[in-house]
Amino acid sequence: MSIDAKGIYQAIEEMRAKAPVVHNITNYVAMNNSANALLAIGASPVMAHAEEEMEEMVGIASALVINIGTLSEAWISSMFEAAHQARIRGIPIVLDPVGAGATSYRTQTAKELISSEPPTIIRGNASEIMALVDEKTKTKGVDSAASSHDALAIARKISADNNCVVCISGETDYVVQKDKVIKIYNGHPLMTRVTGLGCTASALCGAFAAVENDAHVAVAGAMAVMGIAGEMAAQKAAGPGSLQMHFLDILYHLSQDDISQRLKIEE
């Protein structure tokens, strides 16, 4: 897949043809939104968090998405087991360190997941990414207290140390693989008024990684599609409630022309 409208749309066509299973251990807040977005784009979502079925569930998946939004001890055990099984099978792992920096429990959990079973992709807002390295960084709930550009140096370090792709989402999305940085300028401010859209972005990263071997390219495609669909939905929406509805419909109908007309990306 190339990082242009044609390449991004080819990945979507492959999703629609193959319906890859994306296994999500995600939070209660975002579970429905993420599952619906994956269905709309063409993937097949599974939302399962019982440790007893992790080996079998990961066994049928083409990607694993771990989201620490609503943590509990049992869920954390499942996350480690699922990540372990995914590494054995060689399928991509996406980690969303939701709220890292808000409490020591979730910051430590995110760090331990990274060191134990290094993910393929880490996607979070600036404060979350910074908190993975800088213990003084504070996150305002699950919202970022910093701009995406502020986290760029730390994202480069995390990427180099863990041989992974790091995505910082914000007004500008940065997709970082060591010294390579892709900037994506798509999106709309109304998207910040809908809970769980960041979690949805991580789920879409999993879907793209399921059909594209180059994680850097896969994440760029996912974030571009996320931003473009958000822009198009905002044009039709009366507010945050109808944005969600239009967002799903636009993902379902998204065409190569839509991507070509709106894509704002810089390599």
- Yes or no: say if 261 and 41 are a contact pair by the CB < 8 Å rule: no
CA 240, CA 247: separation in Å to the nearest integer? 10
What's the domain count of the chain? 1
pTM for this model (two decimals): 0.95
Q: pLDDT digit string (tens) for 101-124?
A: 999 999 999 999 999 999 999 999
pLDDT score of 150: 85
pLDDT of residue 149: 84
The predicted pLDDT at position 143 comes to: 53
Give the dihedral of Cα atoms 147, 23, 94, 66; nearest 10 deg.
70
**Cα 217–97–222 angle (5° rounding)?**
25
At residue 137 the predicted structure's pLDDT band, cuts being 50, 70 and 90, is low
Q: Are strands 180-184 and 173-177 parallel, antiparallel or unpaired?
A: antiparallel
Q: Give 190-228 pLDDT, tens digit per residue.
A: 999 999 999 999 999 999 999 999 999 999 999 999 999
Give residue 166's domain range.
Answer: 5-266
CATH number, domain of 205, equals: 3.40.1190.20
